[in-house]
Amino acid sequence: MKTGLLLINLGTPDSPSTADVRSYLREFLSDPRVIDLPFLGRWLLLNLIILPFRPRRSAKAYKSIWTEEGSPLKVEGMKLTSGLNQFLKQDKVPVVLAMRYGNPSIDKGLKELEETIESERERERLFTKLSKEITKLNNGISQNNTRISGFQRQIRDLESEIQRITEQSKNRNTEHEKLNEFRENLQKTFENLADKKTEINYYDFAYSLLRDDGVKTKIIKKYLPFINQQINRYLQMMDFYINFTLDEEFKETVQSPIHEDFSYASFSEGEKMRIDLALLFTWREVARVKNSVNTNLLIMDEVFDSSLDGFGTEEFLKIIRYIIKDANIFVISHKTDLLDKFESVIKFDKVKGFSRKIS
């Protein structure tokens, strides 16, 4: 049985807007344990008195405490969840945050917790399977070493027999035939030994691939310094001065001059977008440097339509204009206020469910 921890807080709106506050208050105050009235009385109080007026005043209060990262209750809850995940990592106990009212719901939190637990179980099953395979290979190697020792003893015995027959030979013709026979047997033994050595080499090669320090890890170690160098190079180009590094399991470590304990989840959506773009440009750089084939085509779909802020947009435009050279860059966007930022623009319109070029 696998153990998980679900942290449950009261709840918070998705945003400080009046609509989201109204939705949150409707769910919260509809609970008969919050307003202890009969259903009809609670419905009339909620829909005729509270919801028409209260959400606008509550929204102003929420805006006064809202941060760039979101609701303080949810942000601190996520930080607590992250800290507990690190603390309980050795015990393999996953921690998930949920809200009694609002998002993420308890049902969603339980589902995420179940998926995390199942993922851990799958990793344990895979580890057990690989351990059995390694044990099987080790047993095969031991058996082949035993066979080799036997063949080597046979070789020594045959060589001694050949020496004895050579020294005691009286009838050259008869003894010569026996000598040839022994030599043929010896040759077959050598051939058999060579086959077994080849088989052992195959086992050794498979074993080296399946070990934790196999060829995959060596390849990752070789390219990690270059990957981390390129990621931070592109982050600095977008005026985002953090030290973002990946380890051999591609887990991130973030060092910031402002905050000591940071992770990818700690950043705002705009900052996450800059990290994502830096990773995208880095993988393209790795493909260009380490492969014999280079592509001159880069297609980016709706990068300006997501959470990238205005300053990040300007820095991103500088990168694709001045840093990425010898490439045909296509940027797909629904925004119309960026048309003057590009040398040429192709416009499409949707007609009867199909995109049609209009200019």
The DSSP result for 256-272, as a single string, is -SS-SSB-GGGS-HHHH
For the chain, what is the mean pLDDT?
Answer: 80
Dist. CA 192–CA 215, nearest whole Å? 30
Q: Is the pLDDT of residue 54 over 60?
A: yes
Most confident of 74-78, 237-241, 319-323: 74-78
Considering the segment(s) 216-357 as one domain, its CATH architecture is 3-Layer(aba) Sandwich (3.40)
* Distant-in-sequence, close-in-space partners of 311: CB < 8 Å, separation ≥ 6: 239
> For position 309, what pLDDT does the model report?
63
Lowest mean pLDDT segment, chosen from 83-92, 162-171, 208-217, 240-249: 208-217
Phi, psi of 77 (to 5 degrees): -65, -40
How much of the chain exceeds pLDDT 70, in percent? 85
Q: In one letter, which amino acid is 253?
A: T
Stronger pLDDT, 79 or 221, i.e. the higher one: 79
- For the residues 185-201, what does the mean pLDDT come to? 85
Dist. CA 287–CA 279, nearest whole Å? 12
Within its chain, how far is the Cα of 26 from the centroid?
Answer: 38
> For position 109, what pLDDT does the model report?
81
Neighbour count for residue 292 (Cβ, 10 Å):
4
Helix ranges restricted to H, 211-268: 215-237
Q: Is the pLDDT of residue 197 over 50?
A: yes
Secondary element (H or E) of residue 9: strand 5-12
Two structure tokens written together for 160: 């001694």
The count of C-alpha atoms lying within 13 angstroms of the C-alpha of 205, restricted to the half-sphere facing its C-beta, is 6
How much of the chain exceeds pLDDT 90, in percent? 0
Render pLDDT for 283-302 as a digit per residue (tens, 0 to 9): 877 877 766 666 677 777 77
Domain borders along the chain are 5-104, 128-211, 216-357
Count of all residues that appear for the chain in the document: 359
- The pLDDT-based confidence of 282 (bands split at 50, 70, 90) is confident
Stronger pLDDT, 308 or 139, i.e. the higher one: 139
> For position 302, what pLDDT does the model report?
72
- For the residues 82-90, what does the mean pLDDT come to? 84
- For the residues 126-139, what does the mean pLDDT come to? 86
> For position 290, what pLDDT does the model report?
67
Dist. CA 163–CA 140, nearest whole Å? 34
Dist. CA 253–CA 247, nearest whole Å? 8
Dist. CA 76–CA 53, nearest whole Å? 29
- For the residues 329-358, what does the mean pLDDT come to? 77
Partnered with residue 255 across adjacent β-strands are 243
Assess contact for 273 and 304: CB atoms under 8 A: no
Secondary element (H or E) of residue 337: none
Q: Is the pLDDT of residue 139 over 80?
A: yes
The angle subtended at Cα 109 by Cα 106 and Cα 111, nearest 5°, is 110
- For the residues 43-62, what does the mean pLDDT come to? 85
Q: Is the pLDDT of residue 1 over 60?
A: no
Dist. CA 281–CA 285, nearest whole Å? 6
Dist. CA 58–CA 65, nearest whole Å? 11
> For position 260, what pLDDT does the model report?
64
Cis peptide before 72 (omega within 30 of 0): no
Dist. CA 89–CA 77, nearest whole Å? 18
- From first CA to last CA, the distance across the chain in angstroms is 62
pTM listed for this prediction: 0.37
- The pLDDT-based confidence of 210 (bands split at 50, 70, 90) is low
Q: In one letter, which amino acid is 179?
A: L
Matching residue, tokens 């998705």: 14
> For position 321, what pLDDT does the model report?
65
> For position 205, what pLDDT does the model report?
67
Render pLDDT for 320-337 as a digit per residue (tens, 0 to 9): 765 666 777 777 777 777
- For the residues 253-264, what does the mean pLDDT come to? 74
Render pLDDT for 90-106 as a digit per residue (tens, 0 to 9): 777 888 888 888 888 88
Dist. CA 329–CA 299, nearest whole Å? 6
Q: Is the pLDDT of residue 171 over 50?
A: yes
